Structure 1
Amino acid sequence: MLDPAPTERRSARVISLIVGIFVALLATGVYWYATGMQRGPLSAPMAYEGDPLQYGYIIQSFSQSGGLSSIDNAGAPFGTQNVDFPNGDLSNMAIAATLFSGGYGLGFNLYLLLSVALTALAGFGIARHCGLARGPALLVALAFALLPFHFQRISHLFYTNYTTAAVALWLSLRLASPLFDRSRATRDRWLGVGAVALACIWCGTTGVYYAFFSCIVLAIAAVVQSARAASVRPAIRAVAILTGISICVAIQLIPTRTHNQTDGKNPSVGQRSMVESEVYGLKLAQLLLPVHGHRIGLLATLRERYDAQALNINENSTATLGTLGSAGFMMSLLILFVPRVRRRFPHAQQLCAVLVVSLFIYATVGGLGSLFALGVSPQIRALNRISPFIGLFSLIVAAGTLQLLWQHLRSRHPMLARNAGLILAGFAVLVILDQVSPGFRNTREQRAAVAAKYESDRAFAQGLASRLPAGSRVMQLPYSPYPESPDLLGSYAQFRNNLHAPSLHWSHGAMRGRPEGNWLAAVNELPAESFVDVLQAVGFSALVIDNRVSSQKMLDIEKRFSERTRAVALTAPDSSQKALLSATPWRATARAFTQENGWHATEAEGQRHWSWSLDRPTFALSPAEPGAGECDVQLSLASIRQMKVKVVDSQGQVLAESEVKPEAVSVINLRIPAGTRRIVLENDVPAAPAGNGDPRPLALRWERTADALPLCTYAKIAQQ
């Protein structure tokens, strides 16, 4: 007779696959309805302010030829890069870039829906792997995909794809068996290795935070698995997997390291402190309390009272586990500390209980995460983002408890088995009602407002792009430093134009602390007349003004630009912004010129401005216009001690030499080749403190007046 077992196993796998797809579709449908996505066009994004606009900019830039290392359509006139602000999100980027090809709004919403489906599938698969029957696994998948985190973190788009938690748990369970099992058939052996490799890649390319949390999960699991097996082999396997994840992260950071080696590290961006780990840490109350705006008024009031009275309420308030997850969290404590309870659960669920408690100890305010930030690195600051990991492991423990309870009741009351489907459906409904707050649902008015704003911005930006040649430079006002610089407009508001008209070169997005950011900051300190002089000299074709913010200087700039260029106005349909297009054709007469590396902060006294340097300070220039040739600039330099200064380009070609003294300003006239983007001032006497109590090492002093234009004028123009 034929062994029926393989056929039965295949049938069971098919049924599990069908159930997994069903719960993924169910969760996606609930999310679509519960967010109010259906109350507006799918092309209108669910979020269109702040971080979502930055995500759109990054995804769009990733899709272009230069990637994030060379972004042409932002930071005009220099162009810019985003590798100073790395995220390690290659997999998320690849998925999003595909979805966003149909437009930012549609892509944003499709990514959200896909993240729900993937999270539900991953939750179902890992729950089955942990010994749960299909019914309890369905509950885990549904509750995991519909964690309040998934609704409240829409603005942080990539964090909604927290499937990494399930993959990290699967890798943790794999530590119990050889990664390369010689007892298995060759095909199965290599498939197993390939699955582990793909899991490492996924964990390492879905964000630095999730990669780091995965490593913590694996480190804890290595200890548990090694202790259980009384062997170091699980720990050795963990080291191999951790190495794989770390390599994936490191590969993604190569552009950042390369850029830092070439241009120096940017101290103005992404610098974190230990205290932020305390500020953004987890709180037990926030995990266990009901979701904001719970359907039951008493529970909603309880949460409101806590939020109104507690200290340090920020993004950590999105860590709510829901009733089922909270029950699993408390049950994890019993499993961990009561052996009699622990023995009733299979090993995989015991491991989940250990992970729940361990991760909480790490991420809670004042926990091990704070010690890590103090002693190792403070860069992983928002420890509350570990909550989906805690949520998944808690849900598996809770579902395991329900499974044990069900088995006990069914043995005593066999008639219950007939109603298993109804009971499961009842639990699923309760999970949805408990975790999905009515407050998550956008009203028709909210969706209509976002759609109108989105369409207005698109019509405006595309209308401007249709009137200008591709690559035209557009100055945006008010000036808003990038990144992480909140202003009156709201962070990243000006990226709305980049998203809708990527063919134009916009000024917003210039990386703070780099030449493009330094130059824009300097230009925006100029008086209105000089500001317009610079725009014309560098070749900006249009000026875009956000009408939501106004100042006398902006009005003066608008007036002078209009008068000088006979500008044609283009206003957005919602009047939120307007563009002034030059009706007078002109060509650029200069390149942007600014400080780059090796300079202390600028000092001023009246109209006199100066900057002290370290050794070998540099200046940067924007790209030269095609066929423009060399440009001329004049440097006025003094020094802390008498020294010789050699001015060289990035290829080592000497452009000028001069003797510089402390008591007098030396004027150096430079003619810079068209292909040169950086010049270096090589001083033969090292920087040293001035001896007047100023501890800074000083070498050269660059002198200029407050109204000096940061330009390098084309030599052909100067001769004419």
Structure 2
Amino acid sequence: MAFMLVVDIMRLASRMIRYTSAFFADLGRRPVLLLCLGILLAWLMAGVPFMRFGVPTGLWGDRTFLLLHGRLFLDWPHIFRTDAVGFPDRLDLLGFPFTDLTERVVQFLTTRLTGDVIVGANVYFVIIVAVNFAAAFCALRSFQIRPWWCLAGAFAFAFIPYFAERSTGHDYLAAYYAAPLAFLILPRIVMAVRNRSPTGMVKDPVTLACCMVIATSGIYYSFFSLLTWGFVGLALATQERDWRYLPAMALPAGVTLAVLVPILAFFVAVTPGDAGFPARTAADQPLYGFRISDVIIGLEPFGVARNALRDYMAIRGKTEGTDAWPGPVLSAFALLAALFGSLLLRRRGPGVRPAYGGLTPTLNAYLVFCMIYCAPFGLGLIFNLLMRPEIRAQNRIAPFFAFAALLVFFRLWQRVVLRLRSRFGRSIGGVIAAVALVVLVLVNSIGSFALFARQQHALQRQPAFATEMTSIRATLAVADSEGLRRILQLPMAAWPEAPTIRGFEPYNHLLPFVFSAPGSSRHWSYGGSRGSENLSHLQLLLKTADSPCALAELSAGYNFDAVLVDRRGYDATELAAWDSRLSAVGARLVSDDPLRRLYRLPKSDCSQPLLLSNRWLSAAAGGELEPLLDRGWCSPEAWGRWGRDKVQRILLPN
């Protein structure tokens, strides 16, 4: 009796496995439904159901750029140039590299439709998760990978550590859907060469659409797409002894450049001469390189080898790039594939065209190339020295590296599945393989569980966040009640990328504007470009604030009616000195909180000269007063005879 019961249970289990397999097989034949299911699972993984859309996932640092653009989108059409910030000049974003247009279009739509900067930014991230997943799913399908494997691979790709890192800064780089689109084109090119019709790629709507999206997804992803096509074309041409791969790969590259170059040319043409953007140099490349030893960081989420990890980070330092490896599983696999992949791959006879499996040696070589190109002092540094230094952050090739690792992984996973099925039978072996794949994907994505919800909770637990938001709201409320329209922000700094001042990040000056009401007529001073004349004059006024009438000139000459002092940029003695100076000219303290002080300036004229005509001030080449030297200010030596770091004196004009 007991034996029969066991037999019945085993039959029931076998029947359930067959029915379940049939159900999943049927769903796998419906890729659209499978894609929708995958997006829902990705949103669940990111913690979207647990988000509060009115709470930011980040506030400071480079996140300010995303919030600034969202706020400008609400002031349509003043989204590129505005005098709401940078007063008495204006903030000019036309000099900023707007090659990441598709990401900004998404944020523009989410912000305009929601009418809120924070909600729009959160919805933007939700959409980006879906787009990254969908692009990876479609690209994997183009390599004829099984639908359920495509879902697993797209899931792993959507949540590589690079995404978690970029979703808290350099937010547009988190939209890396261009990487799988660059690979999606490869099978189509192979088929075109095989069918002896490579020029037909120009008429292929899928290829053209991919090239358009890649060209408008950012200069980094466009560059790495071109680099990927160039390397794969050369590798296939060498491997197959068929040089038609080179012109075939050049076709999508040409289409991409045909879109990208005019965009770059436009922004270069309209860039103001005093835009003030820091120059990029080849010397930055070692700081942003792709460190092979960073693969050990994948052990951190598991609490393994903590002492070794601590020692490693002490050796490595804090430079960028720890997010370049695509998770613990894919990282270990990619490193092993680069080391031993050539021994595991089967040779093919000459003349055999590369299907997906045939592309595996090329993809394996691509992984090695990425490491050599992007390593500190690698081929990327040679490129930066000989060509252009703008592509200095080589770790941003991470999405391309991750997707290539996925393709090689699935090629070898096919062999694992065949072994399991031959050992345990088709049904049981398939179930074991499916469960193992799910476990590997979840382990690889371990750092992204409830990512957005965790980011929000972490931010809300910080006392600095509550203090910041309370200060911003109080400042804006008082500015509204006092009718303040033109506010000078101290400490003064140039836009963009000014160094910190006593630990104060100048980008924080943008936060009151970001949270102000759309359409406000208030003007904020931060946002003036480095080298602009008005900014230099204001810096001079503040440098001579103890002189007669220097601060009075703020209202008389520049029409400022308030001064906002951020406490984080000064020590107690400096704050007291500024309070004394402002009180001496009749300024009234109207708001005081732990972060900011807001003073209302009186309307006053001063009959005394701002400075004596024979007053000398020290200046250095490249310093804040340098822009004044060719605008009526005097120097005892001819301009150009004193170099950087050499201090000189300048005389105020009569």
Asked if Structure 1 and Structure 2 have the same fold, meaning a TM-score greater than 0.5 normalized by the shorter chain, the answer is yes
Letter in 2 for 1:21: C
Out of 306, 318, 336, the residue aligned to residue 312 of structure 2 is 306
- Following superposition, the deviation at residue 201 of structure 1 comes to 2.0
Deviations 1:584-612 (A, max 9, x none): 567999xx9xxxxxxxxxxx997356899
- Counterpart of 2:554, as a letter, is L
Alignment of 1:428 with 2:447, yes or no, is no
1:146 is matched with 159
SS at match of 1:498: helix
TM-superposed deviation, 1:569: 0.7
Which residue in the other structure is 1:536 paired with?
A: 555
Q: Are positions 1:173 and 2:187 aligned together?
A: yes
Q: Which residue of 2 aligns with 1:712?
A: none
- 1:381 match: secondary structure: coil
> How many angstroms does 1:166 deviate by?
0.2
Q: State the AA in 1 paired with 2:525.
A: S
SS in 2 for 1:510: coil
How far apart are the structure 2 equivalents of 1:298 and 1:291? 9
Deviation per residue, 1:75-101 (Å, 9 max, x gap): 111113134442521111111122233
Is 2:538 the counterpart of 1:512?
no
> Are 2:328 and 2:443, in contact at CA under 8 Å, matched by a contact in 1?
no
Output the CA distance in 1 between the equivalents of 2:258 and 2:345. Answer: 41
Quote the Cα distance in structure 2 between the aligned partners of 1:195 and 1:605.
70
Cα distance in 1 between the residues matched to 2:540 and 2:107: 35
In structure 1, distance between residues paired with 2:575 and 2:187? 61
Normalised by the length of structure 2, the TM-score is 0.80
1:79-94 matches, cutoff 5 A: 79-94=90-105
Partner of 2:419: 408
Shift of 1:16: 1.5
Q: Give the TM-score taking structure 1 as reference length.
A: 0.73
**1:219 and 1:194 mapped to 2: Cα distance?**
21
Instruction: Supply the AA of the counterpart residue of 1:199.
Output: C
Structure 2 contact 224–397 (Cα < 8 Å) conserved: yes
Residue 337 of structure 1 corresponds to 342
Specify whether residues 307 and 182 from structure 1 end up closer, same or farther in structure 2 by C-alpha distance, changes over 3 A only. Answer: closer
Partner of 2:273: 264
Partner of 2:86, secondary structure, is coil
Which position in structure 2 is the counterpart of 1:521? 539
CA contact (8 A) 2:615 2:651 kept: no
Distance 2:176 2:448 in 1: 23
- Give 1:396 deviation, angstroms: 1.9
Q: Which has the higher contact order (CA 8 A, sep 6+)?
A: 2
Report the CA distance shift for 1:580/1:292 in structure 2 as closer, same or farther (over 3 A). farther
Corresponding residue for residue 595 of structure 2 = 576
After superposition, residues 242-391 of structure 1 pair within 5 angstroms as 242-260=253-271, 263-264=272-273, 268-286=276-294, 288-291=295-298, 293-295=300-302, 297-308=303-314, 310-330=315-335, 332-333=337-338, 337-338=342-343, 340-341=345-346, 343=348, 346-391=357-402
Matched residue, 1:550: 570
Task: Decide which of 115, 118, 122 is 1:105's aligned counterpart.
Answer: 118
Contact 2:635–2:651 (8 Å) recurs in 1: no
The 1:147–1:211 alpha-carbon spacing in structure 2 relative to 1, beyond 3 Å, is: same
Q: Among the aligned pairs, what percent are the same residue?
A: 20
* Amino acid aligned to 2:591: L
* SS class of match (2:65): helix
Determine if the alignment matches structure 1 residue 18 to structure 2 residue 23: no
Q: What is the match of residue 3 of structure 2?
A: none
Per the TM alignment, residue 430 of structure 1 is displaced from its structure 2 partner at its CA by: 3.9
Question: Partners in 2 of 1:465 and 1:192 — Cα distance?
Answer: 58
- Kept in 2: contact 1:293–1:438 (CA 8 A): no
2:21 is matched with none
Is the partner of 1:168 in helix, strand or coil?
helix
* Residues 139/300 of structure 1: CA separation in 2 closer, same or farther (3 Å cut): farther
Residue 660 of structure 1 corresponds to none
State the SS of the aligned residue for 2:301. Answer: coil
Which deviates more from structure 2 when the two are superposed, residues 531-540 or residues 417-426?
Answer: 417-426
Higher helix share: 2
Equivalent residue letter for 1:303: L
CA distance in 1, matches of 2:606, 2:226: 52
User: Secondary structure of the residue that 2:419 maps to in structure 1?
Assistant: helix
Deviation of 1:115 after TM superposition, in Å, equals 2.0
- Give, in angstroms, the shift of residue 251 of structure 1: 2.8
1:96–1:111 contact (8 Å) kept in structure 2: yes
Q: Is the 8 A contact 1:293 1:437 kept in 2?
A: no
**Which residue, out of 690, 693, 704, partners 2:651?**
704
Number of aligned residue pairs: give it: 598
Could you tell me which of 468, 473, 478 is aligned with 1:459? 473
Structure 1 counterpart of 2:409: 398
Are the aligned partners of 1:329 and 1:356 in contact in 2 as well (CA < 8 Å)? yes
SS at match of 2:144: coil
Aligned residue in 2 for 1:597: none
Select which of 432, 447, 451 maps to 1:437: 447
* Contact preservation (8 Å) 1:324, 1:398: no
Give 1:276 deviation, angstroms. Answer: 1.2
Residue 145 (structure 2) pairs with residue 126 (structure 1): no
Structure 2 counterpart of 1:155, one-letter code:
G
Whole-Å separation in 2 of the counterparts to 1:340 and 1:157: 38
Equivalence for 2:52: 41
Which residue of the other structure, out of 28, 31, 36, is the alignment partner of 2:43? Answer: 28
The one-letter code sitting in structure 2 at the alignment partner of 1:75 is: G
Partner of 1:715: none
CA distance in 2, matches of 1:326, 1:209: 22
Q: CA–CA distance in 2 between the matches of 1:442 and 1:65?
A: 30
Q: Which residue of 2 aligns with 1:567?
A: 588
Q: Which has the higher strand share?
A: 1
- What is the rounded CA distance, in whole Å, between the counterparts of 1:618 and 1:146 in structure 2? 47
Q: Counterpart of 1:466 in structure 2: which amino acid?
A: D
Contact conserved, 2:156 with 2:444, CA < 8 A, in 1? no
Q: Which amino acid aligns with 1:272?
A: R
Q: Displacement, 1:547?
A: 2.5
CA–CA distance in structure 1, aligned partners of residues 258 and 553 of structure 2: 46
Alignment partner of 2:330: what SS? helix
Q: Which amino acid in the other structure matches residue 221 of structure 1?
A: V
Tell me the alpha carbon deviations over residues 415-463 of structure 1, each in whole angstroms, 9 at most, x when there is no partner.
Answer: 4x25745752453244323432389745846424476356425523542
Q: Distance in 2 between matches of 1:579 and 1:166?
A: 50
Query: In structure 1, how many angstroms separate the alpha carbons of the residues matched to 2:429 and 2:475?
Result: 58
- 1:499 matched to which residue of 2? 514
Q: Is the 8 A contact 1:226 1:232 kept in 2?
A: yes
- Match of 2:89, SS state, is coil
CA distance in 1, matches of 2:629, 2:38: 55
Distance 2:215 2:596 in 1: 41
1:530/1:81 CA distance change after superposition, 3 Å: farther
Residue aligned with 1:494, SS: helix
